[in-house]
Amino acid sequence: MIKIDYEQTDKKIKIDIYGLIFEISKEIENINSDYEKIEDYKDVIDKVLGDGATDKINEKRKSDGYGEIDTQVFLAIISTAMNAYVNASTQPINNMINNYEDKTNRFNKYGNRKNRRDYRYRRY
């Protein structure tokens, strides 16, 4: 019997940015359709990581001696968040495929054990 819990289906995906931990919301799926300009990066980060996330990240960067978020930092944050979201979403499928391939490989290796040829002893 296979059992699925709420923890497996409703998994919270978290990301650590400069020591600050944020939870990635499902709004990350709608980034491309909602925002056409990259200048709206504050809105995008706030929608994906939660309200006030841009301010928290900017404060942390300033306290560490760096400038505010620019386009390059925005792209790094969003691409890392997307990567984490996609990996967490596809992990159950990848696990299922890996289990199937392992079982298939074991079965094929076991079934062909008598059909192996030993070319050292040719009879003909």
pLDDT digits (tens, 9 = 90+) for 37-57: 656 778 888 888 888 889 999
Residues 93-102, mean pLDDT to the nearest whole number: 80
3-state secondary structure of 106: helix
User: Comparing 90 with 4, which gets the higher pLDDT?
Assistant: 90
Mean pLDDT of 21-26: 84
The vertex-14 CA angle with 11 and 17, nearest 5°, equals 175
Q: Report the predicted TM-score, pTM, of the whole model to 2 decimal places.
A: 0.67
Interatomic CA distance for residues 61 and 56, integer angstroms? 9
Residue 34: the pLDDT is: 55
What is the signed CA dihedral for 20, 24, 29, 32, rounded to 10 degrees?
-10
Encode pLDDT of 50-93 as tens digits.
888 899 999 999 999 998 888 888 889 888 998 998 888 887 77
Residue 63: predicted pLDDT: 92
Q: Which of 47, 45, 44, 48 is nearest to 57 (CA)?
A: 45
The predicted structure's pLDDT at residue 59: 92
The overall average pLDDT reported for the chain is 78
123: CB partners within 8 A, 6+ apart: none
Q: Is the pLDDT of residue 33 over 70?
A: no
